[in-house]
Structure 1
Amino acid sequence: MKEISVGQEPKPISFRSVQYDADSLLSERRQPWFKLGYALRGVMDVHVDGRHLLCPPRFATWIPANALHSCRNRQNCEFVSVYIDSSLCADMPKHPCTLVLSPLIKSILADFASREVTVPETPQDHRLVRVLMDQLIIAPRKKSYLPTSDEPDLKPVIDALLASPGDRRSLGDWAMLLGVTERTLSRRFHREIGLSFSEWRQRLKLVASLSMLEDGMSVTRISQELGYNSASAFISMFKRLSGASPLQLFSQSSDASDTQTGISDAKIPAE
């Protein structure tokens, strides 16, 4: 497993965009600054102060200063990290959470990455940083988009589905495998995760499909990979959870609206 290096100390902010090979690891540590993590492609697993957050494309993890955290990616991952001094974070969350990124936030980060800006130095870049922080302050906050659990009967199910989101085994199949009743397993999902098994699995498939779409995979191929009987069934799920079809969400046309180019927080089922 390849160790992920520590980023540059913010003065008062720094940026890093890196391609990580599968099974890269940032070992557990504390840092005296805040951190925003955003996956352009792939999914990053983040553990912060005993909580597990997934960082798929179009969402970001927010890690407070001095929080004990570690990161790992199961597959190849292109990841943007923003390190921010506490002086800029008075109005930001003091607890770990997931932020829904606006198209403007993503555009600013993409601009810095394309110009290989790691520390802003020009007046123009400092102004962009002020806009970025204003946008982060108003970004919708969620405890976790895809909660997980280490509960003994749930962990094997969750780990298996994270490794293979297209696994079509039903809740009853998993219950039989674990030697519990379907009703018992269903109750544990609700109690530990706060979602039904079906709702959680659909969120997982949405997360997995975002990476596939970013990589240019066709909707037909994605629907097959995720275990759907038809592309229309996959599109229906995608639109219900994201508020837009895959084509709308990834449209690059100049007249695409914010709800077409980013996840609509209002459409995601409540935590």
Structure 2
Amino acid sequence: MNKAAQQLHLPPFSEALPAPIFFRAANLPAHATYPRHRHPWGEFVYAYSGVMEIELGDHHYLAPPQYGIWLPPNVEHMGFNRHEACHCSLYLAPELCTALPARHCALSLSPLVLALLDDLRQAPPGLPQSDEQQRMLQVLVDKLGHASCAGSYLPSSDDPLLGRCCAPSRPTPATRARCRNWPMPPTPANAR
């Protein structure tokens, strides 16, 4: 990514959450970056459009619209997007994180979770939240607690040849061209 073209965005809270469950949505231009940070609350990141990328120490997650990324409290992370994106973050007070995974992961999202996220995006931003919004947020937290972890779902391999192709976990025209030029191993279909 071109560092000069990055647009820095700061996390909205640094000391405390304004409510035990807080939802916010944002439209981001290409190359927007949330710098490396950590906070004492959990965060669920979802991209309505575009792809959000989350980097943690040794993990790299992509959040396309069928997955969300769960970050437990106190996990250092950085978020960015290469192209325009619309995303949301659901922030949870530590005591509300107990039903969610203890480790960061990509979560597979059910149609109900997707519908709740879409509905919440339409609500006016900020506080105060209506009673209906608070109930929807609680249902969303409950449903995320039942979502299955999808791992990073990015390609990887211990094979030296495949590892060179998969290691970046971020396909670019250059990596696609290199992989396309490698000879195919014999298979029953092309071994003749």
Equivalent position SS for 1:92: coil
What code does the residue aligned with 2:123 have? R
Match of 1:38 among 22, 46, 49: 46
Percent sequence identity over aligned pairs: 29
2:108 is the counterpart of 1:100 = yes
| CA apart distance, 1:121 | 2.7
- Relative distance call for 1:156 and 1:20 in structure 2 (3 A) is farther
The aligned runs of 1:190-205 (5 Å cut-off) are: none
Quick one: distance in 2 between partners of 1:72 and 1:156?
A: 22
2:23 aligns to what? Answer: 15
**SS of residue matched to 2:45:** strand
Matches within 5 A, 1:156-167: 159=168, 162-164=171-173, 167=176
Aligned partners of 2:53 and 2:63 also within 8 Å: yes
Verify the 8 A CA contact 1:49 1:68 in the aligned structure 2. yes
RMSD (Å), alpha carbons: 2.9
> Contact 1:97/1:141 (CA < 8 Å) preserved in 2?
yes
What TM-score, normalized to structure 2?
0.78
The answer for the alignment partner of 1:47 in structure 2 is: 55
CA 1:148/1:48 → structure 2, altered by over 3 Å: closer, same or farther?
Answer: farther
CA displacement at 1:93 relative to structure 2: 0.8
1:85 and 1:6 map into 2 onto residues whose CA distance is 16
Higher relative contact order (CA 8 A, sep 6+): 2
Q: CA deviation at 1:170?
A: 7.2
Matched residue type, 1:3: L
After the TM superposition, which residues 1-271 of structure 1 pair with which residues of structure 2 at under 5 Å, given as runs? 1-8=6-13, 9-119=17-127, 121-147=129-155, 154=163, 159=168, 162-164=171-173, 167=176, 169=177, 171=179, 173-174=181-182
Q: After TM superposition, give the deviation of residue 7 of structure 1 in Å.
A: 2.6
> Hey, what's the Cα distance between the residues in 1 that align with 2:117 and 2:138?
13
Q: Residues 158 and 147 from structure 1, CA distance in 2 versus in 1: closer, same or farther, beyond 3 angstroms?
A: same
Q: Secondary structure at the match of 2:33?
A: strand
Q: Report Cα offsets for 1:12-31 as digits up to 9, x if no partner.
A: 01112111111111111111
Aligned AA for 2:117? L
- Is the 1:34–1:85 contact (alpha carbons within 8 Å) kept by the matching residues of 2? yes
Name the structure where helix makes up a greater proportion of residues.
Answer: 1
Deviation at 1:127, TM superposition (A): 1.5
User: SS at 1:162's partner residue?
Assistant: coil
Instruction: Quote how far apart the aligned CAs of 1:116 are.
Output: 2.1
Deviation at 1:11, TM superposition (A): 1.4
Q: Which structure has greater strand proportion?
A: 2
Instruction: Provide the TM-score with structure 1 as the length reference.
Output: 0.57
Encode CA deviations 1:178-202: one digit per residue, 9 max, x unaligned.
Answer: xxxx77xxxxxxxxxxxxxxxxxxx
Alignment gaps of 5+ in structure 2: 1-5, 186-192
Shift of 1:98: 0.4
